[in-house]
Amino acid sequence: MNIAIFFGTETGNAEMLAEDIATELEDQHETTVANLADSAPEALQVADLNVIVCSSYDDGDLPASAKPFVERVQSEMPDLTGVRFAIFGLGDSEYAETYGFGSMKLAELLVSRGAQALGERPVHDAAGDELPEDMAMPWLLEIIEAADA
Ligand SMILES: Cc1cc2nc3c(=O)[nH]c(=O)nc-3n(C[C@H](O)[C@H](O)[C@H](O)COP(=O)(O)O)c2cc1C
């Protein structure tokens, strides 16, 4: 399967997780990794499945590297019908009122343009003990299996 992995980050955690996911998948799938900051909305229309890793910043805002992408989607209003994506959030439960809001806002925007969200949207808690990849890989393998069927 062609799997495009995108990350939206402020301080690099989402990029590290995106690279880890690509490493885990590369034996069985063709993968690419890209910063949302360098991606046009049409980049979502290439692969069979898009995996997006996105953190949250400043009162539940999008991280800096996701902002230009979101602004392009909002201004260009692309039709994303047929696009499939799975999104994984990075957050911190210390920010209780805006926990995981960055990934939530991005997911809602893509769905509003017609894209299909696969699976649930987990949020890794930076205040917890679990490693992001330990949480992301079982979640993603289940989605890939279902998407491949
Ligand atoms: C100044 C600041 C603001 C943050 N705001 C939020 C927030 O509103 N909601 C949330 O869930 N996490 C928030 N976080 C936690 C980050 O999303 C979390 O640390 C994440 O792992 C960062 O990933 P990144 O390095 O890819 O940006 C914040 C972190 C900092 C330092």
Task: Quote the pTM value.
Answer: 0.98
- pLDDT tens per residue across span 56-106: 999 999 999 999 999 999 999 999 999 999 999 999 999 999 999 999 999
Alpha carbon 4 to its chain centroid, in Å, reads 10
Label residue 148 by pLDDT band (50, 70, 90). Answer: confident
Label residue 149 by pLDDT band (50, 70, 90). Answer: confident
Ligand 1 contact, 57 CB (< 6 A): yes
Contact assessment for residue 86 and residue 53, using Cβ atoms and an 8 Å cutoff: no
Indicate whether 18 pLDDT > 80: yes
Helices (H) and strands (E) in the chain, counts: 4, 6
Mean pLDDT of 128-136: 98
Ligand 1 contact, 10 CB (< 6 A): yes
Could you give all domains of the chain from N- to C-terminal order, each with its CATH number?
Answer: 2-148 (3.40.50.360)
The tokens describing 149, both together, are 């069927």
Contact assessment for residue 7 and residue 18, using Cβ atoms and an 8 Å cutoff: yes
Q: What is the DSSP string of 54-121?
A: E--BTTTBPPGGGHHHHHHHHHH----TT-EEEEEEEE-TTSGGGTTHHHHHHHHHHHHTT-EE-S--
Beta-bridge partners for 4: 32, 50
- Distance (Å) from CA 57 to ligand 1 centroid: 5
